[in-house]
Structure 1
Amino acid sequence: MEFRDLKAQYNKYKNEIDSAIQEVLNNTNFIGGKEVDTLEKGLAEYVGVKHCITCANGTEAMTLLMMAWDIKVGDAVFVPDFTFFSTGEIVSFRGATPIFVDVDRDTFNIDTVKLERAINKVLKESKLNPKVIIPVDLFGLPADHIEIERIAKKYKLKVLEDAAQGFGGSINGKKACSFGDAATTSFFPAKPLGCYGDGGAIFTNDDALADLLNSYKVHGKGENKYDNVRIGVNSRLDTIQAAILNVKLTAFINHELDDVNRVYRFYTERLKGIVETPFIPNSYVSSFAQYTIKLKSREERDALQTKLKENGIPSMIYYVKPMHKQDAFRALEYDDSDFEVTNKLCDTVLSLPIHPYIREIDVEKVCNSIVKILNR
């Protein structure tokens, strides 16, 4: 059993993917080919925004926005404590200070009450300038963007939606990657929409921002790549990856999002009352980058993971360490008691195999094993 079975997906679309790759090889347009333009238009249309700017990976997508917004030393950027390292890393990379905020226990996403409290604390201390909120759509579920946008407007902050795991999710039909001033996603292979290497994208309705990002990602180009009007970076999506993603985007729209939500319902029906299953608020849709359950303690979680492995069932822990405890952020001062929820989640969460191609018999095996192991 695979945790996320990329082989099954490839086997289903082997002819289309092989053909798309071969066309790039035949045309030898390995950088900036027509496949990239097609992908950017398709992604923008699906999400419902004016501009999609592809780049080398999801981390650089966020970094490019930090550059475009001139985030620097002395600025404060608000980031959830329970998420992958890169969301805080890109803040420190620019010399700014990440302000970690505890998360909501049910959704795993940034707690908006604690967010506003953190903003006011920074304002009161007057040592940093609050500039940006980076809500993360964790495990595929959009953050509470309605409330986050209200808070951002109140304090005149920008919002960068980190939808690395959230592509395909929605709130009241409004798609992930369309919230905030700009949004980013990742095409890492295991993501809801993944390529066969690294890749990322930025989404925005801001024409001027899109132009600036397109310059920054190609060495600060002006009229062409040999006319350099600013200091930029080299962050382009390879044409072969774009060709693969064009095939996968069609599959994602046609059936994969529906299929992974069918698996979610299957899991939840069978595990109800056995473990704490994912909570999806009304009017929200998750793309289920992960299906994450909660156990009662670290001991119970670790024992369950060990027994599942013995039964040939893979599982993962996202995340074993909070952001505020990462060694890379050791120079920052935090009160551990401010992160009660995140600390508890790191001890009790476990993600189970989920993807659009998992067989019902495999889900049954996972569920039956959990029931037997926990004796509930």
Structure 2
Amino acid sequence: MKFIDLSRGYARYGSEIEAAVLRVLQSTRYILGPEVSALEKELTEFVGVSEAVGVSSGTDALLLILKAFEFPPGSLVLTPAFTFVATAEAIRRVGLIPYFVDIDPLTYNLSPEEVEEALKKLSGKVSAVMAVSLFGLPADFERLEPLCREYGVVLIEDACQSLGAELHGRRSGSFGKAAATSFFPAKPLGGAGDGGMVFIHDRKLAEKIRALRIHGQTETYYYEYSGINGRLDELQAAILRVKLRYFEEELSLREEVAERYRQLLSEIPEIRVPIVPEGYRSSWAQFTIRAEARDELRAHLAGKGIPTAIYYPIPLHLQPVFRDLGFSEGSLPQTEKAAKEVLSLPMHPYLEAEEQIFIVEAIKEFYGR
């Protein structure tokens, strides 16, 4: 059993992917060509934004957004510590300071109450809020968007795990002033390597990001900005265009898998299943439970040949690289509690019911059910 079985998707549309790759190879146009432009257009329509900019990774998408806004050096960006390191890493790389805020224990996303408290406490020092839509569930943008407007700070969505998710009909990637997503192979819409996309509503800012992804070049060998080499290549774009045609169907299949898990696990009191609040749609990048005796359960499942993952065992505020920020154990109680209890089960659109039953029976066996 695989944690994420990409081979099953490939069995469905691999021949189309191979034809798309061959088309690019025969064209000899490999960087920023028609495939990237077409993917950008298709994803603006899918997400519901005016501009999309293909870039080299989700990490670089975050980085380029932050560079484009030119926030005052040393200013703060509020963000969760319960996320992948790239979120805070990008903040640091542009000379800003991540300020970690605690999460909602039910959604694992930023707590709006904690964000508001931090904005009051740090008045005048905060430039932006970078809200992660974790595990495929949008952050609480209904409350975060007006809150950021009230305090005059820029809201950015880290949608690297949540492309396809929705909040009251709005797609993840359309919230805030700009959003970043990732096409890492394990994501809901994943390529065959690294890739990412910036979604944005402001055409002028989008043009700046297009320049920044090519070393800051605005005309041939004329550099207006200090940029990076952050382009999405044609091969990845061609592959993603094929997979995008199947994406809506795969999102529905993920929902079926998630609902089956929820039903099968409902009889195990030691397990808390993930929630999807009313009005939300998750893209189910992960199916993450909270489990009593988490580490022992994980070892038991491994013994049965069932792969699992822990996202994330050490929160960012307790990582050595961020020690200088002044956070310590106890600073973010909900984050720290989640890190000790969460466990992600195998999750992909083509997970069979029989496999899920096998997984849940192994969990029941561990708890003596």
Shorter-chain TM-score category? over 0.9
1:332 is aligned, of 325, 328, 331, to: 325
The answer to whether the Cα contact below 8 Å between 1:216 and 1:233 also exists between their aligned partners in 2 is yes
Deviation string, structure 1 residues 14-60 (Cα, Å, up to 9, x no partner):
11000000000111111112111110011110001110001000011
Contact 1:221 1:230 in 2 (8 A): yes
Aligned partner (choices 259, 263, 270) of residue 269 of structure 1: 263
Give the CA deviation at 1:340. 0.7
**Structure 1 residue 312 corresponds to structure 2 residue 308:** no
Give yes or no for contact 2:72–2:127 (8 Å, CA) kept in 1: no
Mapped to 1, the partners of 2:339 and 2:134 lie a distance apart of 14
2:325 maps to amino acid: L
Equivalent position of 1:285 in the other structure: 281
Q: What do the CA deviations read for 1:111-161 (whole angstroms, capped 9, x no partner)?
A: 1101111111212xx6xx210000100000000001000110110000110
Show the counterpart of 1:143: 139
Alignment of 1:295-310 (within 5 A): 295-296=291-292, 300-310=293-303
Secondary structure of the corresponding residue to residue 184 of structure 1? strand
CA contact (8 A) 1:72 1:94 kept: no
SS in 2 for 1:180: coil
Structure 1 residue aligned with 2:239: 244
> Within 5 Å, which residues of 2 pair with 1:162-173?
162-173=158-169
Aligned mates of 1:113, 1:313 — CA distance in 2: 38
Give the TM-score, by structure 2 length.
0.98
Q: Deviations over 1:283-340 (max 9, x none)?
A: 10000110000013xxx10111111111010000000001110111111112533311
Q: Which of 338, 342, 364 is 1:345 aligned to?
A: 338
Q: Which amino acid aligns with 2:224?
A: V
- Deviation larger for 42-51 or 63-72: 63-72
Shift, 1:74, TM fit? 2.2
Distance in 1 (CA, whole Å) between partners of 2:280 and 2:225 is: 41
Distance 2:329 2:313 in 1: 15
Q: Assess if the C-alpha contact under 8 Å between 2:318 and 2:328 holds in 1.
A: no
- Residue identity opposite 1:246 in structure 2: R
Aligned to 1:121: 121
- In the TM superposition, what whole-angstrom CA distance separates every residue of 1:194-234 from its partner, at most 9, and x where no partner exists? 001100000011011111111111111113x4232222111
- Cα distance in 1 between the residues matched to 2:71 and 2:327: 22
Contact 2:310–2:342 (8 Å) recurs in 1: yes
2:229 aligns with 234
Does the residue aligned with 2:76 lie in a helix, a strand or coil? strand
Which residue of 202, 205, 209 corresponds with 1:206?
202
Q: What amino acid sits opposite 1:248 in the alignment?
A: K
Partner of residue 81, structure 1 = 81
AA paired with 2:237?
A
Gaps of 5+ in 1: none
8 A Cα contact 2:309 2:343, kept in partner: yes
Whole-angstrom CA distance in 1 between matches of 2:218 and 2:332: 45
1:360 maps to amino acid: A
Aligned to 2:173: 177
| Distance in 2 (alpha carbons) for counterparts of 1:292 and 1:318 | 8
| Number of equivalenced pairs | 367
Residue aligning to 1:11: 11
CA RMSD between the two structures: 1.0
Give 2:314's aligned amino acid: K
The runs of 5 or more residues in structure 2 that have no matched partner are none
Counting aligned pairs with the same residue, the percent is 40
Instruction: Decide whether the 8 Å contact of 2:290 with 2:342 is kept in 1.
Output: yes
Alignment partner, residue 131 of structure 1: 127
